[in-house]
């Protein structure tokens, strides 16, 4: 199954960059949680498990995976449905399946599954152009997991699924007109969404974002603290484990959603540039894989996975600087979280897979 020559086509540069980011994340988690704790250990297990998932996703030809994509998709949808009713509740939302040793977060895996099924849909379209029917089907396929995740409720993760559909459809040749229509619909729907679809806490978060000072001790607190955390880092940062904001817990859940703020505080603008450079390298390198892909399926798969990753990276980093509303969105590869780590590395397994098999038939 794993031919020797494929080994030479693995993108080692990308792999090293991925692991470097994991390492940086680990170091910052270590710093933010105050040393060697269970959190750090769990993260190490997550990375190890993620590497295994990566290897697995790399080993199986993405085309055979794509052939089974509908099954994977249905399986994930079933898990999401299960979570909605039987999932473990934490912090007011049902997102996890309690497996004893660890908790599984199916929504993280929905990203790769959606990318796979959409890549399959557009990549195997015989006609070569994107039809309205295709778009409608894609929309429906996207809407199901988005709806299920949003109901948990986990609006952050739900929103990250949408770029998957857009990226794939866009590269597949979706007419710009359709994009314009969608944008118009979104603009028109916004007030309605504001009124009916959003929960109170979500509305509060957005209005707080627009004016954090109105509620400095409440919802605006995290945003202000995030800005202070990042801003006080200066050029070279305060040093490893020397950050006052993260160490003294002015920034809540620093090891999770705000891991990049911790990095910005302790390693300054220099550290930020290094991390941003690594992420940019990863993304451009993965885009390269899409360009090199042997078939449209491969290219779309790469883009689907990457879209979700890129969106999350950019959003989380923006939020880490206190420049975007606070959402429960982790920073892939760096934030604490086993499911996210495994799913992300599995996704990159698919990307490496596509690049590795660019010469195979």
Partner 1 sequence: MRLVALQVAVVVAFAALAVGFWYLQIVQGAKYEEMAANNFQRTLALRAPRGVLYDRNGKVLVENRSAYTVSIVREHSTDLDRTVQLLSEVAGLDAGDVRQVVDRRRNEPIYRPIVVIEDASLAQVAAIAARRLDFELPDVVIEEVPTRQYPTDALAAHLFGYVGEASDAQLGDGVTRGAIVGQSGVERVYNKLLMGQDGERRVVVNSLGREIRTEEEIPPREGRRVQLTVDYDLQKAAEDGFKHAGFNGAALVMDPRNGEVLTYVSLPAYDPNDFAGGIDRATWASLNADTLRPLQNRAIQGRYSPGSTFKLVVATAALEEGLVTPDFKVNCPGGASFFGRYFLCHLKGGHGVVDMRHAIEKSCNVYFYTLGNMLGVDRIHKWADKLGMTGKTGIDLPNEQESIVPSTAWKLERTGERWYPGETISVSIGQGQVSVTPAAMAMMITTIANGGTRVTPHIIRAVDEGGGWRMATPPAVAERVAFRPETLAALHDGLWMAVNAAGTAGRARIPGRDVAGKTGTAQVISIQGRQAARGNTGRDLRDHGWFVFFAPKDTPQLAGVIFGEHNEHGYLGAPIAKHVIETYFAKQEGRPLPVLPPKPAPAPTPRLEPDPDSPPVLLETQPVALNQSAVGSRQ
Sole residue written with tokens 């006080």:
232
Nearer to partner 1, 20 or 44 (CB): 20
Nearer to partner 1, 73 or 122 (CB): 122
From 279, 300, 336, 348, residue interacting with partner 1 (rule: CB under 8 A): 279
Residue 82, CA distances (Å) to 94, 156, 331 in order: 10, 19, 26
**CB-based burial of residue 94 (10 Å sphere; 0-12 exposed, 13-18 middle, 19+ buried)?**
middle
Q: Whole-angstrom Cα distance, residue 314 to residue 114? A: 20
Nearer to partner 1, 203 or 249 (CB): 249
From 34, 75, 287, 328, residue interacting with partner 1 (rule: CB under 8 A): 287
Q: Does 170 bind partner 1 (CB under 8 A)?
A: yes
From 171, 334, 346, 350, residue interacting with partner 1 (rule: CB under 8 A): 171
Q: Does 51 bind partner 1 (CB under 8 A)?
A: no
From 1, 101, 192, 248, residue interacting with partner 1 (rule: CB under 8 A): 248
Q: Does 164 bind partner 1 (CB under 8 A)?
A: no
Q: Does 159 bind partner 1 (CB under 8 A)?
A: no
Nearer to partner 1, 245 or 335 (CB): 245
Q: Does 227 bind partner 1 (CB under 8 A)?
A: yes
Q: Whole-angstrom Cα distance, residue 81 to residue 78? A: 5
The pairs formed by 123-130 with CB atoms below 8 angstroms and a separation of 24 or more are 123/66, 123/172, 123/295, 123/296, 123/297, 123/298, 123/299, 123/300, 123/301, 124/66, 124/297, 125/172, 129/173, 130/169, 130/172, 130/173, 130/174, 130/175
Query: 3-state SS string over 129-156?
Result: CCCHHHHHHHHHHHHHHHHHHHCCCCHH
Q: Whole-angstrom Cα distance, residue 62 to residue 124? A: 13
Q: How far apart are the first and last CA of the chain?
A: 13
Nearer to partner 1, 163 or 349 (CB): 163
89 strand-pairing partners: 94
- The one segment of 83-91, 178-186, 191-199, 241-249 that binds partner 1 by CB under 8 A: 241-249
Total of residues contacting partner 1 (CB under 8 A) = 43
If we measure between CA atoms, which residue out of 285, 286, 263 comes closest to residue 273? Answer: 263
Q: Does 323 bind partner 1 (CB under 8 A)?
A: yes
Q: Does 253 bind partner 1 (CB under 8 A)?
A: no
Site for partner 1 in 255-274 (CB under 8 A): 264-265, 268-269, 272-273
Sole residue written with tokens 């923006």:
318
- Determine contact, residues 344/22, Cβ cutoff 8 Å: no
Nearer to partner 1, 106 or 163 (CB): 163
Other beta carbons within 10 Å of 252 = 13
- The one segment of 50-58, 78-86, 112-120, 281-289 that binds partner 1 by CB under 8 A: 281-289
Q: Does 245 bind partner 1 (CB under 8 A)?
A: yes
Nearer to partner 1, 73 or 315 (CB): 315
Nearer to partner 1, 108 or 265 (CB): 265
The minimum distance between CB 322 and partner 1, in angstroms, equals 8
From 317, 341, 351, 352, residue interacting with partner 1 (rule: CB under 8 A): 317
94 strand-pairing partners: 89
Q: Does 173 bind partner 1 (CB under 8 A)?
A: yes
103's enclosing H/E stretch is strand 103-104
Question: Where on the chain is the footprint of partner 1 (CB under 8 A)?
Answer: 167, 170-171, 173, 225, 227-235, 244-245, 248-250, 252, 264-265, 268-269, 272-273, 276, 279-280, 283-284, 287, 290-291, 299, 303, 310, 314, 317-318, 321-323
């Amino acid at each position: 199954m794993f031919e020797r020559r494929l080994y030479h086509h693995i993108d080692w540069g990308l792999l090293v960059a991925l692991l470097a980011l994991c390492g940086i994340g680990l170091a910052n988690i270590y710093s933010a949680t105050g040393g060697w704790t269970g959190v750090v250990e769990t993260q190490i297990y997550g990375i190890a498990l993620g590497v295994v998932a990566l290897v697995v996703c790399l080993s199986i030809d993405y085309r055979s995976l794509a052939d089974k994509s509908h099954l994977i998709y249905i399986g994930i949808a079933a898990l999401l449905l299960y979570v909605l009713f039987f999932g473990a509740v934490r912090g007011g939302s049902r997102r996890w399946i309690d497996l004893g040793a660890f908790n599984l977060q199916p929504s993280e895996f929905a990203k790769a599954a959606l990318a796979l099924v959409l890549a399959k849909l557009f990549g195997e379209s015989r006609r070569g152009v994107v039809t309205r029917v295709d778009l409608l089907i894609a929309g429906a396929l996207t809407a199901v997991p988005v709806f299920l995740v949003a109901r948990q409720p986990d609006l952050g993760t739900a929103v990250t699924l949408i770029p998957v559909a857009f990226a794939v459809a866009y590269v597949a040749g979706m007419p710009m007109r359709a994009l314009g229509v969608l944008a118009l619909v979104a603009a028109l729907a916004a007030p309605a969404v504001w009124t009916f679809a959003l929960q109170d806490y979500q509305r509060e978060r957005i209005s707080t974002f627009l004016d954090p000072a109105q509620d400095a001790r409440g919802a605006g607190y995290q945003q202000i603290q995030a800005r202070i955390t990042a801003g006080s880092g200066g050029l070279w940062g305060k040093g490893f484990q020397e950050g006052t904001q993260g160490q003294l817990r002015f920034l809540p859940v620093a090891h999770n959603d705000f891991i990049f703020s911790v990095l910005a505080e302790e390693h300054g603008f220099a550290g930020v540039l290094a991390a941003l450079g690594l992420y940019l390298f990863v993304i451009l390198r993965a885009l390269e894989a899409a360009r090199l892909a042997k078939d449209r399926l491969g290219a779309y798969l790469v883009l689907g996975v990457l879209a979700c990753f890129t969106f999350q990276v950019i959003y989380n980093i923006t939020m880490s600087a206190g420049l975007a509303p606070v959402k429960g969105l982790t920073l892939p590869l760096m934030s604490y979280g086993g499911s996210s780590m495994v799913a992300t590395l599995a996704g990159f397994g698919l990307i490496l897979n596509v690049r590795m098999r660019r010469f195979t038939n």
